[in-house]
Amino acid sequence: MIINFILNGEEVNFDAYPGETLFELLRRYHHYEVKGNNCKTGECGACTVLIDDKPIPSCTFLVGKVIGKKVTTIKGFGDIDNPDLIQKSFVEEGAIQCGYCIPGIIISVENLIKKNPNPTRDDIKETLSSHICRCTGYVQQIEAVEKVIKKIKEGK
């Protein structure tokens, strides 16, 4: 069946299999920026995308529900030549090691800051808690987010 939705600002028509998840569909159409898929239960958070401005693990989201919706992957933010503030901050603060969980985490952080430009440390921890990062121990990720918030406040 043809599924129609907005992907990173552009309308797409993808041919989906019945019962396919959004994760499987995106990967099949070579959207390799969405990582993950080994838990298939949304537990690790690596495959998180924004669906109508809500961060959701794409491995649990059936394609039928995505029709007409707005889907944003990490490609909907900065790119390698023009990374946005959050992406840059993650690089600068040592918040990335293997990087496999990072696109999903950044998407959740983008969503947090958009909805709450003044989050507390607890808000940041709460947001990161939908993701498992086995490498970093989260500390530098929390620091990276705090640094972005400070920069935004200072109008940089």
Return the structure tokens found at 122. 């607890």
Q: How far is the CB of 27 from another protein (least distance, A)?
A: 8
CA torsion sign for 30, 31, 32, 37 is: negative
For position 151 contacting another protein by CB under 8 A, the verdict is no
Please provide residue 116's backbone torsions phi and psi, each rounded to the nearest 5 degrees.
-140, 90
Q: Where are the alpha helices (DSSP H) in 3-154?
A: 22-28, 85-92, 102-115, 121-128, 139-153
Stretch that binds another protein, among 58-66, 96-104, 110-118, 148-156 (CB under 8 A): 96-104
- Residue 3 or 47 having the CB closest to another protein: 47
Q: Which of residues 5, 23, 61, 90 is near another protein by CB under 8 A?
A: 90
Stretch that binds another protein, among 52-60, 61-69, 119-127, 148-156 (CB under 8 A): 119-127
* Choice between 38 and 68, CB closer to another protein: 38
Q: How far apart are alpha carbons 72 and 31 in whole angstroms?
A: 11
